[in-house]
A and B are shown apart, each in its own frame.
Chain A
Amino acid sequence: MKKRLLGLLLAVMVVFTFSFTACGGSDKSSDSDSDSKDSGKKTVNVWAWDETFNIKAVEEAKKVYSSDDYDVKVVTMSQDDIVQKLNTSLASGSTDGLPEIVLIEDYRIQGYLTSYPDAFADLSSIVDEDAFSPYKFAVNKVDDKIYGVPFDSGVTGFFYRTDYLGDAGYDDAALQDITWDEFLEIGKAVKEKTGHALFSLNPSDLGLVRAIMQSAGTWYNAEDGETITIDNNPALAYGINIYAQFLKDGIVEQVADWDGGVNAVQSGSVAGSPQGCWYSSTITGADDQSGKWRIAPLPKIANDAKATHSSSIGGAGWYVIKGLPGEENAIDFLDNTFASSTDLMATLATEIGLVSTMKAAADTAPYQEANEFYSGQKVLEDFSKLSTGVPEVNYGQNTYVIESVMAEYVQQIIDGKDVDKVLKEAQKQVEAQVAN
């Protein structure tokens, strides 16, 4: 009898192991219960992060266009959560629980499109390639098919407090056309004279290094998106060195997460923030600081012929998950809003300070307006001008995998190791990481 029990257990084990490993997800469940709500009206779910920016954008889009066939429901989720949920669902070949529309950062989308070739809907029919900034199509296209509606630009600038920099003896002109080395000196002076850190840095987030790299047209990988170019990459070496220097000299405030950085700005403890233009909605979130802020172009790399003041951090696009019952509705919604509506772009420019990647947006009225919060600066116009000069790079599929490794090596540089040596090692390490 004990044999019988053992036999039963073994049988269960064998049957389950085989039935679950053998058919490794070749089939795909095609619908979810998101449409079975009692009302009979379908729901198009949207996942996005940042309630001051992306979420508001969708809310505005709902005002611009509404259909009788479906409701649009937007859900706030941290980017980490979105990434994790997309991965868990898509990797299992199931779309249950996923939303129809999802916002995905430019750095990440190529990884998804190549790992899950069948997961996203082809949006070529609603997105006109000539209507948007060309660099967005380097990330959202595979084999001539467009999978995303380009949304915000990631064009960078240095947001700064005019009062703090003024106290340290720097006027607005002092921040124009400078190098990162000069910027470092400014940081030291600000710290010394006002006691404020120049900006906040999260040592695990290399956004600043990315921005410096891209400003000279290079990346962790070459144009093919695969060959790793960490060793012998002067722009990267320069960027990492500057990054480490900021941390070493204690002129930046160290924060542990995104919210720490937001807090540093809103509580007035830092003098500025080098970020993508989308950060504007966070800065303006502190109403009491109106009139105290301005935006300068980022400094540029010293002694590099290709160096520019233009770069990009972040930026994202809207993507539609294929195979959900609301797919058609989702495409219809994007078609009438983010893919075509200049009015929407104009509204968003005023409401959240969106620098759109839709070319026509730059001609709308808000782009010429002076912004009170930023001491009367024509912020959007300045950003648009800068964005035309952003060097195009191929982000490849591995930006964050690489960066997770790179962050460790940056620590070694902070600890005083030689930059070139460390980068040589990092090159090897990253190559091994992305190999399989």
Chain B
Amino acid sequence: MRKTKKRVWIGTGNDFITLPLILITILVFVPMIMALITAFQSGPPLNMKFNGFGNFARMLTDSTFKKAFGNTFLYLIVQVPIMLFLALVFSSMLNDTKLKFRGFFRTALFLPCITSLVSYSLIMKTLFADAGLINQILGTQIHWLTDPVFAKILIIIAITWRWTGYNMIFYIAGMQNISPDIYEAADIDGATKTQQLFKITIPNLKPIILFTTITSTIGTLQLFDEVKNITNGGPANSTITLSHYIYNLSFNFGKPNFGYAAAVSFVIVICIVVLSLIQNKVVGNE
């Protein structure tokens, strides 16, 4: 009896995956369900009561929520394509074996992602201060931190600086799997480098591009550290993101509103799921 049980459990692979799965269940799926329950409640944290769809109804008229939602999508729509495009361009340039200083360029471009999000945010904050270096170099007097439009641009610049190299690494890795013969053949056929990028590189990298698009989308939808440390959501919530709004609702006001915060967090979940499905469809195969 004991022996059969042993054979069922040990040595079938379950023993390898059980512990990690239990942890993921407790630490991701259980909180998730708890958050879903909380999303339908309201009231003070220690005495929350069922509230139906009240929290979701509230979102429809909440101007700050709309702002946070709009900002998050603005970052997503503007920043992710720019970043991924730059990453593609740089990696295809770096894929050239005849390139001099290749190692240096690659390391240099990857370097930003060794900084912590808090660190680089603080660095950006000093660089883009009113009297700071960037304004001096440009000879401008832009209020990077307090102008509603430029503050958003600053956030986009900052994230792009930090994450382009990270995505580039995936592309470089992917490109090395593409046989050089294909490029040689294309060279002989007289295809330009740009044509090669669009006709050979990008189609071959499809799954990786999908992967980076999805991870970047998830990352951007959860954007928090940068906004908190560069502008703190200001001026007047014009750079605030959904995650930052959730944080504010939960911890930043005198009266925490966990129910509403949880409801807002589910909007992120839904967005992630929907966008991942769409991206999967657009790219076609898995």
Contact = CB atoms under 8 A, between A and B. Distances in A.
Contact of B64 (A20, A404, A410): A404
A52 interface: no
A80 interface: yes
B50 interface: no
B258 A91 contact: yes
Nearest to B46: A25
B257 interface: yes
A403 B17 CA distance: 50
Contacts, number: 165
Nearest to B231: A256
Given A9-B21, A436-B58, A405 B234 contact: no
A4 interface: yes
B254 A110 contact: yes
Interface in B217-274: 231-238, 248, 250-260
B25 A13 contact: yes
Given A84-B251, A405-B64, A204 B54 contact: no
Contacts of B9: 1, 4
Given A111-B254, A254-B143, A116 B236 contact: no
A203 B145 CA distance: 10
Contacts of A110: 254
B43 interface: yes
A402 to B, nearest CB: 10
B21 A408 contact: no
Given A88-B251, A115-B256, A255-B146, A21 B25 contact: no
A204 B260 contact: no
Given A25-B46, A91-B45, A436-B43, A429 B61 contact: yes
A404 B62 contact: no
B178 interface: no
A9 B29 CA distance: 10
Contacts of B236: 203-204, 407-408, 410-411
B232 A84 contact: no
Contacts of A111: 253-255
B112 interface: no
A264 B44 CA distance: 40
A13 B44 CA distance: 26
A404 B67 contact: no
Contacts of B37: 21
Interface range on chain A: under 10, 10 to 19, 20 to 34, or 35 or more?
A: 35 or more
B123 interface: no
A1 B257 contact: no
A107 B125 CA distance: 29
A401 interface: yes
B18 interface: yes
Contacts of B55: 436
B246 to A, nearest CB: 13
Given A91-B45, A202-B235, 18 more contacts: A2-B14, A5-B18, A13-B33, A20-B30, A87-B252, A88-B250, A107-B254, A108-B254, A110-B254, A115-B255, A254-B147, A254-B235, A400-B252, A401-B255, A408-B67, A429-B61, A433-B64, A436-B58
A203 B234 contact: yes
12 contacts: A2-B14, A24-B46, A24-B47, A25-B45, A80-B252, A83-B252, A115-B256, A202-B146, A203-B235, A404-B253, A407-B234, A408-B238
A91 B26 CA distance: 21
Interface string B30-57: 1001100100001111111001001100
B277 interface: no
Interface range on chain B: under 10, 10 to 19, 20 to 34, or 35 or more?
A: 35 or more
A12 B146 CA distance: 49
A360 to B, nearest CB: 31
A93 B45 CA distance: 9
A342 B165 CA distance: 61
A195 to B, nearest CB: 13
A410 B9 CA distance: 64
Interface string A22-35: 00111000000000
Contacts of B44: 114-116
A8 B26 CA distance: 12
Nearest to B44: A115
A9 B25 contact: yes
A290 B247 CA distance: 42
Contacts of B14: 1-2, 4-5
B241 to A, nearest CB: 14
B12 interface: yes
Contact of A405 (B17, B45, B63): B63
B46 A116 contact: yes
